């Protein structure tokens, strides 16, 4: 029963859509339908629009943006993947174009863009009702039916190690949230929404939404992302004086979240119900305008997908993430990728003897048969450049310890190797597991010499310290890394083509025992 002074608000939300546009027209029709039923509404996105499909490889976020603008999103925060192209030749040009083209503001209270020449001008470190679309704010004040609502954004600090933000930095999320709440409350605003890319139940080593709700009083709603959590019902946190509702809508445009709220006159939530609408469910029709707008993108994707690389896979190339997959074990695809990287690096610097590829950078398997460009780009979507590092044997061993430290748990930093044979004992404590390392050149096998210097190929993401490889970051900062400019998927295509028919095997390159 609505009391006087009550305010009803519906929040529609998405997160981690990752370039999945095949069913975007269905999302458009759901949004239009809910807007028609619920006049007091907001539409928010918790980040990670970038990376994941050929739509992203081809259109760099602009295809997604056309539909986000069509749906009239009210605000979005940055996910870690928004920074994925920071290591590419164009730096954050795609992200800049995305922000500038957005017909909504981006909210980012703990992200500092000032170090990046392209992005710096777009950021305003303010909490304001007087905002412009296509710019970044710590927080915005949005009026809905005469009520002011504060909306601010937070991005996981882990972005520094799992993506490529470069000179863009992330500060403590709790401190930023406290500042945001204080800034809104100083304006008399008592309805506050955090749009976050922290994860619902992500490792407490960094940050997550439940820790945020518990630590900061005054946040009414957290619209989350990052852990791809399917919260079929909102999570209602009641540990503070006033409750906080946390929502997250799984991933890949599978769901549109809807949260219906009632606030009392003090801005306290007195009722909440939420659900996830399945975007691809029977009965959800495609919006005709959106479906028509999609054709120009989907036609192009079909074309790219079907182009042949000129190579054929005679066996399944395992890029899976499950047990025995690329984040825990040697796989034949990991071997093929590192072989290709080593072959390319040797052409540039004949002294290169080893190649390393992070398992987290291998994003999909490749099926038996003709290998298409589309498959390769899906497997290697980051467009990473080649890096050739000069490392001592001791440094390399430190890196290999880092690679297997979490085994048998999955770890994006798990390294696939060419030119090496590594044995480790998983029963030993992390940091002292690696038992034997041999450098292999054809049939010649020599023990790794800790004091000798080796030329080691990898991708720039890993060479700059991605996945926590501090020993590589140090070499990078010391100027011991060269970047000849070769791109990962191109090296792979060249290598596969030179083989014609590929049939990589497991070769005991990485041995737990
Ligand atoms: P989400 O994909 O939604 O962000 P998540 O944070 O768990 O979820 P993962 O899918 O685990 O992300 O991807 C993180 C992993 O991706 C990192 O551990 C790293 O190995 C890999 N990765 C990220 N960026 C790059 C890059 N530019 N090059 C190579 N690998 C990368
Ligand atoms: Zn994601």
| Phi, psi of 484, deg, nearest 5 | -70, -15
What pLDDT is stored for residue 2 in this prediction? Answer: 60
- Residues 314/503, Cβ–Cβ less than 8 Å: yes
Cα of 359 vs centre of ligand 1, distance in Å, is 9
Kindly give the confidence (pLDDT) of every residue in the chain, 513 residues in length, as a single tens digit, with 9 standing for 90 and above: 467 789 999 999 999 999 999 999 999 999 999 999 999 999 999 999 998 888 998 999 999 999 999 999 999 999 999 999 998 889 999 999 999 999 999 999 999 999 999 899 999 999 999 999 999 999 999 999 999 999 999 999 999 988 899 999 999 999 999 999 999 999 999 999 999 999 998 878 789 999 999 999 999 999 999 999 999 999 999 999 999 999 999 999 999 999 999 999 999 999 999 999 999 999 999 999 999 999 999 999 999 888 999 999 999 999 999 889 999 999 999 999 999 999 999 998 999 999 999 999 999 999 999 999 999 999 998 888 899 999 999 999 999 999 999 999 999 999 999 999 999 999 999 999 999 999 999 889 999 999 999 999 999 999 999 999 999 999 998 889 888 778 899 899 999 999 999 999 999 999 999
Nearest CA to ligand 1 atom 19: 360
Closest CA to 458 of 355, 315, 359: 355
Residue 479: predicted pLDDT: 84
State the ipTM, two decimals.
Answer: 0.94
> Is the C-beta atom of 17 inside 6 A of ligand 1?
no
Angle at 460 between CA 160 and CA 506, to 5 degrees: 110
Which ligand 1 atom minimizes the distance to the CA of 51?
Answer: 2
Atom of ligand 1 nearest to the CA of 327: 20
Cβ–ligand 1 distance for 15 under 6 Å, the answer no
pTM (predicted TM-score): 0.80
CB 359 within 8 Å of CB 437: no
- CB of 226 within 8 A of CB of 80? yes
Pocket flag, ligand 1, residue 46 (CB < 6 Å): no
pLDDT (0 to 100) of residue 88: 82
Give the residues across from 313 on adjacent strands.
369, 502
Burial 61-93 (b: 16+ CB within 10 A, else e): bebbbbbbebbebbbbbbbbbbbbbbbbeebbe
- pLDDT score recorded for residue 331: 98
CA–CA distance, 483 with 461 (Å, rounded to integer): 11
Instruction: State whether the beta carbon of 29 lies less than 6 angstroms from ligand 1.
Output: no
List, as ranges, residues with CB under 5 A of the ion ligand 2. Answer: 16, 48
Q: How far apart are CA 284 and CA 454, in angstroms?
A: 58
If one residue of 56, 326, 412, 458 were mutated to test the ligand 1 pocket, choosing by the most ligand atoms within 8 A of its CB, it would be 412
d(CA 285, CA 314): 40
Q: Nearest bound ligand to CA 159?
A: 1
Q: Give the span between the Cα atoms of 166 and 506, in whole angstroms.
A: 35
Distance 374 CA to ligand 1 centre (A): 19
CA dist 264 and 270 (Å) reads 6
In whole angstroms, give the CA distance from residue 428 to residue 426. 5
Q: Are 40 and 144 contacting, i.e. CB atoms less than 8 angstroms apart? A: yes
From 328, 358, 385, 463, the mutation candidate for ligand 1 (largest count of ligand atoms within 8 A of CB) is 358
Q: Please identify, by atom number, the ligand 1 atom nearest to the C-alpha of residue 382.
A: 27
Rounded to the nearest 5°, which phi and psi values hold at 123?
-95, 135
- Among protein residues, the one with the nearest Cα to ligand 1's atom 16 is 360
How far apart (Å, rounded) are the C-alpha atoms in residues 46 and 40? 20
Q: Is the dihedral of CA 283, 284, 290, 291 positive or negative?
A: negative
Phi, psi of 30 (to 5 degrees): -60, -45
Angstrom distance (rounded) from CA 212 to CA 226:
14
- Phi, psi (5° rounding) for residue 404? -105, 10
Ligand 1 proximity of 165 Cβ (cutoff 6 Å):
no
């Amino acid at each position: 029963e609505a009391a006087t002074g009550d305010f009803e608000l519906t929040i529609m939300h998405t997160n981690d859509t990752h370039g999945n546009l095949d069913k975007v027209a269905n999302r458009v029709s759901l949004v239009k339908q809910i807007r028609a039923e619920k006049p007091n509404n907001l539409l928010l996105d918790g980040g990670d629009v970038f990376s994941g499909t050929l739509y992203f490889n081809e259109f760099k976020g602009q295809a997604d943006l056309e539909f986000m603008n069509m749906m009239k999103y009210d605000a979005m925060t940055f996910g870690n993947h928004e920074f994925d192209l920071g290591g590419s030749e164009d730096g954050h040009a795609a992200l800049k174009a995305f922000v500038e083209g957005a017909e909504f503001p981006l909210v980012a209270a703990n992200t500092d863009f000032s170090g990046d020449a392209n992005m710096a001008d777009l950021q305003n470190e303010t909490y304001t009702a007087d905002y412009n679309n296509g710019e970044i704010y710590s927080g915005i004040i949005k009026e809905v039916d005469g009520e002011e609502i504060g909306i601010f954004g937070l991005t996981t600090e882990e972005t520094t190690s799992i993506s490529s933000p470069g000179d863009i930095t992330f500060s403590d999320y709790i401190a930023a949230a406290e500042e945001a709440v204080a800034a809104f409350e100083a304006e008399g605003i008592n309805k506050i929404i955090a749009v976050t890319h922290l994860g619902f139940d992500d490792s407490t080593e960094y940050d997550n939404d439940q820790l945020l709700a518990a630590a900061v009083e005054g946040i009414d709603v957290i619209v989350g992302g990052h852990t791809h959590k399917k919260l079929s019902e909102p999570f209602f946190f009641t540990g503070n004086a006033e409750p906080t509702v946390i929502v997250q809508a799984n991933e890949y445009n599978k769901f549109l979240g809807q949260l219906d709220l009632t606030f009392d006159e003090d801005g306290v939530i007195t009722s909440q119900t939420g659900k996830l609408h399945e975007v691809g469910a029977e009965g959800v029709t495609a919006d005709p305008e959106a479906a028509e707008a999609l054709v120009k993108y989907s036609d192009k994707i079909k074309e790219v997908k079907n182009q042949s690389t000129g190579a054929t896979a005679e066996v399944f190339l395992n890029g899976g993430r499950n047990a025995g997959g690329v984040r825990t074990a040697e796989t034949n695809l990991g071997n093929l990728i590192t072989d290709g990287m080593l072959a390319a690096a040797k052409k540039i610097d004949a002294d290169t003897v080893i190649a390393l590829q992070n398992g987290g950078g291998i994003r999909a398997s490749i099926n038996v048969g003709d290998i298409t460009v589309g498959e390769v780009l899906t497997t290697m979507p980051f467009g990473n450049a080649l890096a050739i590092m000069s490392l001592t044997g001791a440094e390399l061993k430190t890196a290999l310890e880092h690679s297997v430290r979490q085994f048998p748990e999955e770890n994006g930093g798990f390294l696939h190797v060419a030119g090496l044979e590594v044995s480790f004992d998983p029963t030993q404590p992390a940091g002292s597991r690696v038992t034997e390392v041999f450098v292999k050149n054809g049939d010649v096998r020599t023990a790794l010499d800790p004091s000798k210097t080796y030329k080691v190929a990898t991708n720039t993401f890993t060479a700059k310290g991605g996945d926590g490889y501090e020993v590589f970051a140090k070499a990078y900062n010391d100027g011991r890394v060269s970047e000849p400019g070769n791109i990962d998927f191109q090296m792979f295509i060249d290598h596969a083509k030179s083989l014609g028919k590929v049939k990589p095997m497991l070769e005991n390159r990485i041995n737990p025992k």
